[in-house]
């Protein structure tokens, strides 16, 4: 990145997770909106709107969003959104930082990936196009899913049901790993049972700045303050070795 761009972000791109909607970022956006001169965009992933789109189409959508916003830009993904930003930000000169929320980066995988495991997942719903969605009623049931969400978030999710997504989100190749080119912070929930010990260990080997946050996988709902604080950090300062609470 050109040092003349400055050390505070002027643009932020927030990428939603699997089965989600752009409005899922409302709580983080609320934390960011008080910052003067900061533009925020939340692209809507094509894989959740079209039966033919997948990871690569999602990356192109986010790449266009990155190109449209002010520099220096921070690009943030939550869960599956992290897979998308790792491709979309590749070679984008205006991106000063990546923030991965609740997911470690993906390694290069130049060939089509095996997504057969998707069909074996529990609590899934399917539509007539072969797309799936996690049963929202299941993970809103705290006794079953073990997820703890604030009342306003639960009300929002009931009004915004999870959307169907294509299997190509998991089978498309991974042709780039922007996290090796751009300063990257990975935020992992300390009680996130979707990220195993092996994935956590690999993330710490691959990325200098990995932080544990006292929450579960749904960090963008439970700890939007932490995510916003990380986004707004001085881009000229090293974040190596910091920890989030």
The predicted model gives 8-14 an average pLDDT of 96
The predicted structure's pLDDT at residue 138? 77
Residue 15 lies in domain:
3-108+174-231
Residue 175 banded pLDDT, cuts 50, 70, 90: very high
Per residue in 60-107, pLDDT (tens digit) is 999 999 999 999 999 999 999 999 999 999 999 999 999 999 999 999
Residue 242 banded pLDDT, cuts 50, 70, 90: very low
- Please return the burial class of 173, using the count of CB atoms within 10 Å of its CB with bins 0-12, 13-18 and 19+: middle
The predicted model gives 132-144 an average pLDDT of 75
Residue 107 and residue 83: Cα distance in Å, rounded? 10
In a domain, 243, yes or no: no
Considering Cα of 210, then 214, then 220, then 223, what sign does the dihedral take?
A: negative
Q: Is the pLDDT of residue 4 over 50?
A: no
Which residue did the predictor score with more confidence, 166 or 3?
Answer: 166
In a domain, 56, yes or no: yes
Q: How many structural domains does the chain have?
A: 1
In a domain, 139, yes or no: no
In a domain, 204, yes or no: yes
The predicted model gives 164-190 an average pLDDT of 96
Determine how β-strand 132-134 pairs with β-strand 95-101.
unpaired
State the average pLDDT for the chain.
90
Residue 200 and residue 161: Cα distance in Å, rounded? 30
What's 45's DSSP letter?
P
The predicted model gives 129-146 an average pLDDT of 75
Residue 129 banded pLDDT, cuts 50, 70, 90: confident
Q: For the chain, what percent of residues have pLDDT higher than 90?
A: 74
In a domain, 77, yes or no: yes
When mean pLDDT is compared across 31-45, 71-85, 174-188, 226-240, the lowest value belongs to: 226-240
Nearest of 161, 170, 13, 9 to residue 77 by alpha carbon = 13
Residue 136 banded pLDDT, cuts 50, 70, 90: confident
Does the pTM of the predicted model rise above 0.75? yes
Residue 46 banded pLDDT, cuts 50, 70, 90: very high
Considering Cα of 201, then 203, then 209, then 212, what sign does the dihedral take?
A: negative
In a domain, 58, yes or no: yes
In a domain, 161, yes or no: no
Per residue in 185-206, pLDDT (tens digit) is 999 999 998 899 999 999 999 9
In a domain, 160, yes or no: no
CATH number, domain of 7, equals 3.40.50.1820
Q: Is the pLDDT of residue 2 over 90?
A: no
Residue 202 and residue 213: Cα distance in Å, rounded? 17
């Amino acid at each position: 990145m050109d040092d003349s761009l400055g050390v505070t972000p002027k643009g932020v791109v927030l990428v939603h997770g699997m089965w989600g909607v752009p409005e899922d970022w409302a709580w983080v956006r609320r934390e960011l909106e008080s910052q003067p001169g900061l533009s925020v965009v939340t692209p809507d992933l094509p894989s959740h709107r079209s039966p033919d789109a997948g990871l690569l189409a999602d990356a192109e959508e986010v790449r266009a969003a990155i190109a449209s916003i002010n520099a220096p830009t921070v690009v943030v993904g939550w869960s599956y959104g992290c897979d998308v930003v790792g491709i979309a930000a590749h070679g984008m000169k205006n991106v000063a930082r990546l923030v991965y929320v609740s997911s470690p980066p993906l390694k290069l995988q130049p060939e089509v990936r095996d997504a057969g495991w998707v069909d074996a997942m529990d609590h899934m719903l399917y539509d007539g196009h072969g797309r799936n969605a996690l049963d929202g009623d299941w993970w809103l049931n705290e006794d079953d899913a073990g997820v703890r969400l604030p009342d306003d978030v639960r009300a929002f999710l009931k009004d915004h049901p999870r959307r169907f997504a294509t299997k190509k989100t998991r089978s498309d190749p991974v042709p780039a790993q922007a996290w090796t080119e751009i300063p990257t912070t990975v935020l992992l929930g300390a009680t996130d049972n979707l990220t195993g010990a092996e994935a956590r260990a690999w993330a710490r080997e691959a990325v200098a700045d990995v932080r544990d946050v006292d929450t579960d996988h749904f960090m963008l709902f439970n700890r939007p303050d932490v995510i916003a604080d990380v986004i707004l950090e001085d881009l000229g300062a090293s974040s190596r070795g910091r920890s989030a609470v």
